[in-house]
Amino acid sequence: MKGIQKVIDIVHNENPISQLLKLGITPQQIKEDVIDELGRFFVNEEKLIEYSTANLVGDWIHFSKYRNDDFFIHILIQSLEMYRTAMKYDSNICIEIITSLLNEHAESDNRLWSFLLTQNNKKEFDLYEYVETVINEMGRIIEGLSKSILMEFLCINKVANGKLVEVQKVMKQDLGVINSELLLDNRFVDLFLIEGLKLSDWRNIAYHHSYKIKGENIWCEYGPKQNRKTITLTKEELWNTLQSVVKTLDLLNLTHKFFLYDNEDAILLTNCDFELVESDIRPEIWFFTLASSISAQGFEVIDFITNTKFTKLVLRESIIESDAEARAIDSSQFTYKLWYYSSSEKLEVEYRLPNNQVYLISSTTSEVCEKVENEENGIEYLAEHIELNFIKY
């Protein structure tokens, strides 16, 4: 699967964790860094610790590019405070908003990975190709990747401000209407107004190709037919506009995720009538979360295959001076993680030494994992029913 290989390449080449491990930073120190840096965004310390070696690892990596951006951190904190205010005001409607949009978010995530897997090296493009590519990407991000999270943010904002919310009505609204309503809250104007234009204006420029190149500048037209306006950008300004759009999407997604993890028990364990179509979620999405988590624990992902019958993960030890047997047995825990994400009938983890020699193959079945998941048996049952095959040479 090309997408899975792309994820492995990203985790190998763009993930700072592998470099930290090479510098002698331990998995425990990485866990502590995740907790220390993201702690300010959480109220539920138990959930922060629980996810510090799992889902939050990928989010920590994502957040790291903004760790010195005071604006980003300030607005992220304000956004989370808004979500918490709404939750205190009416927890039931907040839960309804979030769960009603989970499938919309899943579809946006699917499109996000399609977007990431088709990225081009724009530095090699001439001005015409560059402008077309950047503006098209802007349109895809705003309409295809951001709309569902904008809906959620608007609904939560309304609740926090004591207004009535009809989620299904908001879901049917045009992006321009959603954008205009979001601008009514002065705290978040700079999120939804970029270079003086609404996100929906940039979307329309991309979708209607209402731009042209004059010399070294890009002229973009926007607004109603009877009152068209023009904004002129340099190549660098156009690129910065795209990065501002990406920043808005990143901030909204991190707000959503941090709040969801922080309030998981109240949101996902509620009796709300919703159905998440997990089978439609691209494997690259959950595999990136899993691979990032595995990397933070000192293992390098070498290969991965998955289907309904069988899922296999190949790992290599990243910590040179380690107890091979203990680390190999520790890697067997990932058989359950593989089942949790893939639901395959048979799960297998191959552990290799730093020299790439196969040391242990751990395997179990979906039947065993289901009993643990349904709390018929404890985690000890899983440990007892994982087959450990040490390879002798």
pLDDT at residue 278, rounded to an integer? 47
Residue 286 resides in a domain: no
Class of residue 275 by CB neighbours under 10 A (exposed 0-12, middle 13-18, buried 19+) = exposed
**Residue 107 placed within a domain:** yes
Q: Beta strand 299-306 with 217-222: parallel, antiparallel or unpaired?
A: unpaired
Q: Are residues 374 and 252 in the same domain?
A: no
Measured CA to CA, the distance from residue 333 to residue 391 in angstroms comes to: 18
Six token digits for residue 99: 């769960």
Q: How many domains are there within the chain?
A: 2
Residue pLDDT, tens place only, 4-32: 787 777 777 767 787 777 778 888 999 99
CA distances from 222 to 132, 136, 193, 219, 229 (A): 16, 15, 14, 10, 5
Domain ends where: 250, 279, 308? Answer: 279
Task: Examine the domain organization and report whether 271 and 364 are in the same domain.
Answer: no
Domain boundary among 279, 312, 341: 279
Q: Which candidate, 154, 144, 158, places its Cα nearest to that of 177?
A: 154
Mark whether 308 and 371 lie in a shared domain.
yes
Residue 31 lies in a domain: no
Cα–Cα distances in angstroms (integers) from residue 43 to residues 33, 48, 206, 371, 376, in the given order: 17, 8, 40, 32, 31
Which ranges of 210-278 does DSSP label H, i.e. alpha helix? 235-262, 264-268
- Return the pLDDT at 279: 42
Give the span between the Cα atoms of 216 and 234, in whole angstroms. 7
> Which pLDDT belongs to residue 273?
53
> Do residues 217 and 232 lie in contact, with contact meaning Cβ atoms separated by under 8 Å?
yes
Q: Are both 259 and 306 inside the same structural domain?
A: no
**Taking the chain, what is the end-to-end CA distance rounded to the nearest angstrom?**
31
Helix (H, G, I), strand (E, B) or coil at 363: strand
Tell me, yes or no, whether 190 and 325 share the same domain.
Answer: no
What is the SS3 assignment for 167-208?
Answer: HHHHHCCCHHHHHHHHCCCHHHHHHHEECCEEHHHHHHHHHC
Residue 376 lies in a domain: yes
Tell me how far apart the alpha carbons of residues 36 and 11 are, in angstroms, rounded to a whole number. Answer: 22
Query: 195-229 pLDDT, tens per residue?
Result: 999 999 999 999 999 999 999 999 999 998 899 99
Q: Same structural domain for residues 109 and 225? A: yes
At 188 the pLDDT is 95
- Identify whether residues 350 and 226 lie together within a single domain: no
Backbone phi and psi for residue 44, each to the nearest 5 degrees, phi listed first:
-85, 95
In a domain, 30, yes or no: no
Look at residue 194 in the predicted model and tell me its pLDDT. Answer: 95
Residue numbers of the domain that contains 83: 2-7+36-279
| Predicted confidence (pLDDT) per residue in 288-344, tens digit | 888 888 999 999 999 998 888 999 999 999 988 889 999 999 999 999 989 988 889
47, 159: one domain: yes
pLDDT digits 0-9 by tens, 157-189: 999 999 999 999 999 999 999 999 999 999 999
Is 121 inside a domain boundary?
Answer: yes
> Do 192 and 251 lie in a common domain?
yes
Judgement on whether residues 74 and 125 belong to the same structural domain of the protein = yes
Residues 214-269 pLDDT 10s: 999 999 999 988 999 999 999 999 999 999 999 999 999 999 999 999 999 888 77
Q: Is residue 272 predicted with pLDDT exceeding 80?
A: no
How confident is the model at residue 2, as a pLDDT? 63
Q: Is residue 125 part of a domain?
A: yes
Indicate if 321 and 372 belong to the same structural domain: yes
Whose tokens are 């409607």? That residue is 93
Sequence-distant (6+) residues with CB within 8 A of 119 are: none
Q: Is residue 334 part of a domain?
A: yes
Answer yes or no: is pLDDT of 274 > 60: no
85 and 123, same structural domain?
yes
90-149, pLDDT tens digit by residue? 999 999 999 989 888 878 877 776 666 666 677 678 899 999 999 998 998 898 878 899
